[in-house]
Structure 1
Amino acid sequence: MFELSFDLAPFAVKARLFLIPTPIASDTVLQTLPASVLEVVPTIRFFLVENIRTARRFLASLKQNIPIDDLTFVEIGKHSDPTVVLTQYKSWVEAGTTIGLMSEAGCPAIADPGNVWVQWAHQWGAEVLPLVGPSSLMLALMGSGLHGQCFAFHGYLPIDTQARVQKLKWLEKQSAALHQTQLFIETPFRNQTLWKDLLQHCHKNTWLSIAANLTAPDQLISTYRIGQWHQKNFAPPKVPCVFLLMS
């Protein structure tokens, strides 16, 4: 959390922060978002978003006659000034505003920016309202057949080959020690490099699952042991993927 000198006492008027899920595959709004989301979003006029262009495109795709040009957006991406964002955000909460928080795809604050703004909402006494929607991590875990009672997400693995291999070996050890499914992701153009490292350096009895392009018409979810993957002529597509490992 940012170390800024704002008063943390709850404000008199209770603001609301809706955590708005967005599709993780193109043209899947109606298939992946429930009616409750489609009803709430058009009522919101102030948004914290990872990317303004993506947010505007999503709102237009709802086809709810939302007056997009009349809305106020503040970007919370990695190039944003957190002090500027927090100042604007604080003024909204202080006024008892209803605010929407969106990432570029999926559920905000889950493997995406947003958690710090949720923390501030709690500090200021705002009501936090997460909405139902697609999460690639949960869908991948559900579809993998691997242990769903104990799991951990590690984000992106190191780009450096040696460091990445060391990380994979550590994940295998953690999985065996804790009986824990390990989840991680990669930039699509590096999927095949990661896949080669997995097959080369992980034990033949380790389970490996891949979930690619989830919720899209061509989605793929497949789980085999490393030794079985060696017998298949498979290369992961250059699309968003979740990788799951369990030893």
Structure 2
Amino acid sequence: MAATPAPPTTAPGTLYLVPAPLDHGCDTLTPLDDVLPRGTLRTAARLTYWICENAKSARALLKRIDAVEPLAATLQAQQIAELPRAVHKKGDHTGATGFDARPLLAAALAGHDMGLVSEAGMPAVADPGSSVVRAAHALGVPVVPLVGPVSLLLALAASGLNGQNFAFVGYLPQEATERADRIRALEALALRTGQTQLFIEAPYRNAAVLQALVQTLKPSTQLAVCAGATLAQACNTSLRVADWRRRADLLPEQVRALPSVYAIGP
């Protein structure tokens, strides 16, 4: 008879999902304790093992945390592992990249608490990291999301659109014809079902996306734009497309350059 495997001698650590402020890439940074609760900052400050989207961004965040809550280890002593570039480009929620996240959790299996962080907002929500979370569950590593800003929910709440039934659909196509077709398809779904459709765009494409939305959507469709959520210059605008067409000044140029979330619905 085969011997029963001995139970592990060390309890696994916890994987904490650490939200980052939404000001990544912006000229003006939001005070960290304005957007992250003290409990989140305290937990992040004591972690020394990290999985991140970008090591440089992770160190910059840790430096900001250190100014509010002293880190348990110096920046140089922090153990930081990056997710592969392929995961950034293709996402890691389907397994299409063939990426195995389990080796990244070796420290957690050895009993150390770890942090998962992206460049902005909640990791694994509109950002890579879901493969790490799935691997943690499979390995018996507890997963704890910490409180912090999530741009999609902030935008939804500020839109006045249906918050009981909504979908996040990622990015629109970059090519103009494909983008217009996708906008029409999302609008048809929203008008047929009442489901709010949420999507995001890189700041340098905001002007083109907003123009495409205003030109393509029906005049009676509601279009909401949440630009720069949590930033001092944030702007939330939600109007019928007909009103967007009449007002070219609804989003000033400085606001159009901010990270933005879009929402459409009836």
TM-score (normalised: structure 2)? 0.84
Q: 1:47 is aligned with what amino acid?
A: W
Q: In structure 2, what residue type is equivalent to 1:15? A: G
Counterpart position of 1:76? 83
Which amino acid in structure 1 is aligned with residue 56 of structure 2? Answer: R
Corresponding letter in the other structure for 2:221: T
In the other structure, the counterpart of 2:224 is 209
CA distance in 2, matches of 1:42, 1:214: 24
Q: Please say if residues 75 and 85 of structure 1, whose CA atoms lie closer than 8 Å, have aligned partners that are also in contact.
A: no
The residue aligned with 1:47 is 50
**Partner-residue secondary structure (3-state), 1:100:** strand
Please give the secondary structure, in 2, of the residue aligned with 1:121: helix
Whether contact under 8 Å (2:227, 2:234) holds in the other structure is: yes
Q: Which amino acid aligns with 1:176?
A: L
2:41 counterpart (13, 38, 42): 38
Deviations 1:177-206 (A, max 9, x none): 221110111121111111111111110000
- The alignment partner of 1:152 has SS state of strand
Conserved 8 A contact 2:225-2:262: yes
Work out whether 1:242 is the aligned partner of 2:240: no
For 1:231 and 1:189, locate their aligned partners in 2 and report how far apart those are by CA, in whole Å. Answer: 24
Partner of 1:3: none
CA contact (8 A) 2:102 2:132 kept: no
Query: Hey, what's the Cα distance between the residues in 2 that align with 1:80 and 1:68?
Result: 25
TM-score for the superposition, normalised by structure 1: 0.90
Give the Cα separation in 2 of the matches to 1:210 and 1:45: 37
State the AA in 2 paired with 1:73: I
1:87 CA drift (Å)? 5.7
Task: Count how many residue pairs are aligned between Structure 1 and Structure 2.
Answer: 238
SS at match of 1:217: coil
Q: Distance in 2 between matches of 1:182 and 1:28?
A: 31
Partner of 1:157: 172
Counterpart Cα distance in 1 of 2:168 and 2:8 = 35
Q: Between 235-244 and 76-85, report the one with greater CA deviation.
A: 76-85
* Partner AA of 2:30 in structure 1: D
1: CA distance, partners of 2:197 / 2:155: 11
Q: Please tell me whether the aligned partners of residues 155 and 185 of structure 1 are also in contact (alpha carbons under 8 angstroms).
A: yes
Instruction: Quote how far apart the aligned CAs of 1:93 are.
Output: 2.9
Range with greater deviation from structure 2 (209-218 or 10-19) = 10-19
Give the direction of change, closer, same or farther, for the CA distance of 1:152–1:87 in structure 2 (3 Å limit): closer
Q: What residue in structure 2 maps to residue 232 of structure 1?
A: 247
Q: Counterpart of 1:192 in 2: which secondary structure?
A: helix
Point out 4+ residue stretches in structure 1 off by more than 4 angstroms: 79-85
1:194 corresponds to: 209
Sort the Cα spacing of 1:201 and 1:74 in 2 relative to 1 into closer, same or farther, 3 A. same
Q: Pick one of 132, 136, 140 that aligns with 1:121.
A: 136
Deviation at 1:38, TM superposition (A): 1.3
CA distance in 2, matches of 1:184, 1:42: 32
Which segments of 5 or more consecutive residues in structure 2 lack a partner in the other structure? 1-6, 24-28, 89-96
